[in-house]
Every structure is written in structure tokens, then in C-alpha cells.
Amino acid sequence: MRILAIIHKEFLHIRRDIRVLYFSLIWPVVLLVLFGLTVTFDVKNLPLVFFDLDDQPASREFYSAFRQTGMFNLVRRTDFSWSKSPGLLDQGRARGLVILPKGFSRSLGRGEPTAVQLLVDGSDNNTARIMLGYVAGISRDFYRRKLAEFLRPYGALAPALREPLDARMRFLYNPALRSENFIVPGLIAVIMMILGTMLTALTITVEWERGTMEQLFYTPIRAREFILGKLTPYFLISVLQMTLVLVTSTVLFHVPFRGNLLYFYLAAMLFMLGALGAGLFISLISRTQQVAAMVAFLTSFLPAFMLSGFIFPIASMPLALRLLSYAVPAKYFLTIIRGLFLKGSGLDILWPDFLIMLLYAAFFFVISTSRFRKRVA
């Protein structure tokens, strides 16, 4: 019954401060909605200035090929000066400049290759790469079209214009490649990891700082009871929170949920136990709340965001970081919820991830308990 007293005491703390409830129940949903609406990896609206110095039908056709991609925020100009125009990149007013030289249309009409200049702002390497890919594709398609026009008089060559490959691409589990379908599950893993760790990270440090920890040592409380008592209220809150984010993702963002709901809750509970346990452990080893808060942030946000496979592919990382990613619980949770949401996978595929999350939660429970005992002694 001592454990109930601890739970009761912790609930009183939570009730006294409305901000804890706001942080744990409203903030995650707000973040999920906000990021679900704004975070996108589709690169769009890139400002591109198109200098058409040729200004002939073929060059205008090339320009409209750029427009049709819908990727760019295009400005077409017919004047260019080497002293002023590249400044557009410096000022960030353009991410790229395309320069069609005079004589562009004439060489193409004669069946001769012609060069266009492309000046790219490389500081955002990812966007630059995507832009280069688009330009390569546009130029290739344009070449095909011009070649067909050029070869029209030579009927014997017609077979060479036929596309030799018919590549049919199919995207399993997310056929339209909707970005919500993968961003939302990833966000759930990141947000919940932060929430769990942050919620408990300060609870014991507060007692250290105020000296109430010593008072606790004089009571007959056992380590296990203390740790469980501290965890239970936050655990209940976070299971409730998991329900809220699940509803938000399916109802608001229409992310399909194809798996078993029971597995979702099992995974959620294991994951949150691990996160809360990690927070509690940080709380036990930090003397001041400032340290606890920073450690909690650095050990929850960074790994969950960077090493879970949410945005940055683990397979491309250097070996040391790939190994480190195995210690990140969000990686396993993310595999499970992606499996449950999109693939409809079951335990036959996901059991190793469940097992590791169970071990992770157990690990923090055990070391927290033993750490607490040592302090008592």
C-alpha cells in the first residue's frame, strides 16, 4: 500500500500544476498536428530565375517544360548580366539560375547539341541535388522530343525513338507516396520519446534539490515501490496520450491503420515504460534540474529524431553510428508502428522489436532500482 501513497503523492503534484497536464496531453497533439501539416520532404516552390536570352519558340518550349514540373517558383527574364544576376543567389532570392544562350533554338533546329548554363546554390545540398535531378530529367525529355522532330524526315530511324523500357513502379503500403503516411508515425515516435523522458526527468531531481529525498529515506519505502510509484501516474497519462495521437493520425491525417490495435497498445506501453524509465534514471543521477533537463533533451530528442530512421536512413550512416542506432528504442518503436499503420504486419515479423523494447524497459527499471538502493545505503 506504500506504493499507492507514492502514486497518490505524484498525482497531487501533477494536479497542482496544470502545465504538466497541458504538456503531456495537449502539447503532443498540437505538435503532431502542426508538424503533420508543415513537415514535408517534397521540395516545392524553389525560386528559380530563367534567363531566356534566345527568346525563340524552342527556348520558350524549354521554359514551359520547367513550368510543367510544378517544382519551381519561376521568373523568366530575357536580360542577363554577369555583374548583377549571380547576386540573386547571394541574396537568397533564387536557388538556381538557368541561362539559355542566344542561338539555342538555331543549334537545336540543325540537330546540334547546345549548352545551357545552370548556376545552383549548393548550400542546401539536398535541395540542390533534387534540383539537379529535375533539370537532368527535363533536358533528357526535351532531347527526346527534339530528336523525334528532327528525325521525322527519316522514316527508317523511327524504331530507335521507341522507349525500350517500360518501367512500372509500384509503391507498396503507401501507393500514392502520401507524405503524411510516413511523417505522422515518425513524429509519434519522436514526440512520445521526448514526452516520456521529460515527464520523469525532473521528478526525483526536484526531491534532491529540495532535500525531500532524505525524508523519503527515513520512511520504510522500498526501492521497487518508489520507482513503480513514481512511474505509474506518468505511465497512465502516456497511455492516454498514445490514444490521442492514434486518433489524431487516423482521423485527422487519414493515415491507414492496418495492424492489430492490441499490438499497438502493447508496443506503446513498452516504449513509454522505457522512455519514462530512462527519464527516471536521469533524474536519479543528476544533482540539479538544469542538468537533468538538458540530459533528458539530448538523450531523447536527438537519438529519436536522428538515429531512429525517421528522416535519415540508418543504412547510409558510418558504422559507429549504425551500431549506436541499435541502442535507440525509437528505432524499434518506429519499425513497429510503421509496420502496424502501413504494412499491417503481425508479431511473426515484429517480435524481435517487441523483445528489445521489453529488455530496454526492464533494463532501466533494474538500474534505477539498484541506483536508488545504493543511495539509501
Does 77 bind other proteins (CB under 8 A)? Our answer is no
For position 172 contacting other proteins by CB under 8 A, the verdict is yes
Q: Does 76 bind other proteins (CB under 8 A)?
A: no
Closer CB to other proteins, 66 or 235, in the complex: 66
Of 4 and 123, CB closest to other proteins: 123
Q: What cell was used for 64?
A: 514551359
How far from chain centre, in Å, is Cα 7? 35
Beta bridge mates, 74: 48
84 contributes a contact to other proteins by CB under 8 A:
no
CB atoms within 10 A of CB 370: 11
Cβ atoms 182, 41 nearer than 8 A: no
Least distance from other proteins to the Cβ atom of residue 77, Å? 18
Residue 276: which of 229, 343, 314 has the closest Cα?
229
- Using CB under 8 A as the binding rule, the residues of this chain from 179 to 218 that contact other proteins are 179, 181-183, 186, 194, 198, 202, 206, 209-210
Run of H or E residues at 293: helix 289-306
DSSP 77: E
CA gap 294, 301 in Å, rounded: 10
In the list 81, 84, 167, 262, the residue contacting other proteins (rule: CB under 8 A) is 167
| DSSP string over 218-233 | HS---HHHHHHHHHHH
> Is-contact 272 235, C-beta < 8 A?
yes
CA angle 279, 282, 284 (to 5 degrees): 110
The residues in 223-282 that bind other proteins, with binding defined as CB under 8 A, are none
Q: Which of 4, 9, 12, 22 is in the footprint of other proteins by CB under 8 A?
A: 22
What is the grid cell recorded at 236?
Answer: 497512465
Please check whether residue 136 is in contact with residue 126, taking contact to mean a CB–CB distance below 8 angstroms.
no
> At its nearest, how many Å lie between other proteins and the CB of residue 11?
15
Per CB under 8 A, the list member of 80, 253, 265, 297 interacting with other proteins is 297
Find the shortest distance in angstroms from Cβ 58 to other proteins.
Answer: 9
Provide the 3-class DSSP secondary structure of residue 176. Answer: coil
Regarding 70 and contact with other proteins (CB under 8 A), the answer is: no
Of 43 and 362, the one with the shorter C-beta distance to other proteins is: 43
C-beta separation of 246 from 264 below 8 A: yes
Which three three-digit cell numbers place residue 279?
Answer: 527519464
For residue 377, give the H/E element and its range.
Answer: none
Give yes or no for residue 38 binding other proteins (CB under 8 A): yes
Using CB under 8 A as the binding rule, whether residue 90 contacts other proteins is answered as yes
Q: Rule CB under 8 A: is residue 367 a binding residue for other proteins?
A: no
- Give yes or no for residue 170 binding other proteins (CB under 8 A): yes
Q: What x/- string results for residues 118 through 157 when contact with other proteins is judged by CB under 8 A?
A: xxxxxxxxxxxxx-xx-xxx-xx-xx--xx-xx---x-xx
Shortest separation between residue 1's beta carbon and other proteins, angstroms: 27
> How many residues make contact with other proteins (CB under 8 A)?
130
Question: Which residue stretch of 2-10, 219-227, 311-319, 357-365 sits at the interface with other proteins (rule: CB under 8 A)?
Answer: 311-319
Nearest-approach distance from CB 257 to other proteins, in angstroms:
13
Q: Which of 12, 64, 102, 111 binds other proteins (CB under 8 A)?
A: 111
Q: Is 11 exposed, middle or buried (0-12, 13-18, 19+ CB in 10 A)?
A: middle
Residue among 58 and 361 whose Cβ is closer to other proteins: 58
Instruction: Judge contact between 308 and 223, C-beta under 8 A.
Output: no
Q: Which is nearer to other proteins, 41 or 217 (CB)?
A: 41
Q: Are 174 and 342 in contact (CB under 8 A)?
A: yes
1, 81, 82, 163: residue in contact with other proteins (rule CB under 8 A): 163
Q: Exactly one of 3, 25, 29, 43 binds other proteins (CB under 8 A); which one?
A: 43
**Cβ nearer to other proteins, comparing 4 with 143:** 143
What are phi and psi for residue 269, nearest 5 degrees?
-65, -45
